[in-house]
Structure 1
Amino acid sequence: MSAINGGSIIDTEGPVADGDVGYAVDGAVAVITLDRPWAHNALNVHMIRRLAEAMDAACCDQEVRAIVLTGAGEKAFSAGGDLGELIPRLTKGELEILVPDPAKRFFSDAFKPIVAAVNGICLAGGLEILLGTDIRVAAEHAVFGLPEVRWGLVPGGGTHVRLPQQVPWAIAMHLLLTGDHIDAPRAAQHGLVTEVVAAARVRERAMEVAGDIARNAPVAVRTAKEIAVRALGNEPRFALELALNERVLRTEDAVEGPRAFMEKRSPRYRNR
């Protein structure tokens, strides 16, 4: 069973290792799929590790010139971290699951272009993953948000650094501080996604864009992205986010929020 509470993070019943990350190569394009559609592609520990492995495979394959990242099914790219398995491990101190290197975040050292096909819900950790991609094609019904503060958490996967770089400050702060979400047209208006298409076209369009990239000179393409990414100088900013995220994860509120979600009640925060 799975449920969404307030357009938020997912909790599930059943094996904690269910779900996977698919990997396939279509010509010069690698396709990586978050594959847990019955739980809106909510991320567990197994999937985070498999995602890293899939991205490494694409980056190491000399025949792959572009990457498409999407979610399985028609409802979700990813609704974030699994509150029943992933988040409790983070609050117990296993932050290296999410951030194995303090100076890196999702795909921050992957210099092959990544095109996201956002086929629905893109919240919390799903949005953090999206911020590590380069070009984003969204379905008309997609929604984007960061509900972590509602549950005593913060999005510690690079969002505090990347989001204000990619959208206007006031929009970034609205998403970070309210836990609210925005729809696909507004996300495109503020530059969070590149374009919005009909749901039936989202993956096809992402493959078209990736194909256009793959036809260009591969060394030039990789170098163009590497220059742009390295020029941001985000490594020390990521390290700062990690240090402050650890402070939040050690609080009683960080334990109370996910517990309240699982118990289907309003959280009782104590500011400590």
Structure 2
Amino acid sequence: MKLTSSQVLVSPLQRQRLKLQLGLGRLLRARFFFVVSALLVGFLVVCALVPQWIATFSPTDMTDATLQMPGWAHIFGTDQFGRDIFSLLVYGSRQSLLTGVGSVLIGGLIGAILGLIAGYVGGIIDSILMRAIDIVMAIPGILLAISVSVALGSSYFTIIVAVSVASVPGYARVIRGQVIAIKSRAFIEAARAVGTSHLDMMFKHILPNCLSPLLVMGTLGIGSAILVGSSLSFLGLGEIREIPDWGTLLSQGRGMLTVAWWIAVFPGLSITFLVVSVNLIGDELRNRLDPKGRKG
């Protein structure tokens, strides 16, 4: 009697080989996206550091080729003032990257200190700080960032501060949980037994053991910070500069979508690719530094 394909039994060895092939395929796809993301972010870092090496025109040059479609002369087209869109994106990448990195550094530092104090001290201090964090977390992040920007006035520094304030609660919550778990371990009890001071306990023994989740969260937070910062610039809450950032370019092009779609589309795509790339890098860091939390 001839067996059908559904009746063929798979041996344990074949099953293991199939699992290995599927796992290897998934690994190669993950590594491919990680490498592509790293190359894109690296290219944007080069654009931010030495834009004159990449840009084909000066961002302030106004030519007679106004509203020119993408082509050989201007690969991303020109705007209503005759400025090259590609050059504007290259020079504007510095502000967008600084917004993401600066916001994560400031928000992560403040959040880590608050979480460290709350988790280590405990008691009434922990309750007060966490209730304040709960109140801030009850406000949507973009709404909180808009409120801070309006209160402090329109400037580039204001955007960084606004995005930082909105990110503090998340870092504080994560670090507090890590501190509570770490401070009950044996090496902390040993350090306390030999008379280690509270400051040394917090910053030399506990905080270094919290850096892995903080690094992963910070990497993932860069993408969100860039997105929120671009949104604030899009709403006109950023500083009007001679060289606009990507959010400002997107805002300037939204009213000309039917006439010159490329003015808004290419800044929008740049923001999307950068945020996705940074998030993919953050996912890979999480898989490497936190194997228990990796996705199947």
Q: TM-score, normalised by structure 2?
A: 0.24
User: Who wins on radius of gyration, i.e. which is larger?
Assistant: 2
Decide which structure has greater helix share.
2
Q: TM-score, normalised by structure 1?
A: 0.25
Decide which structure has greater strand share.
1
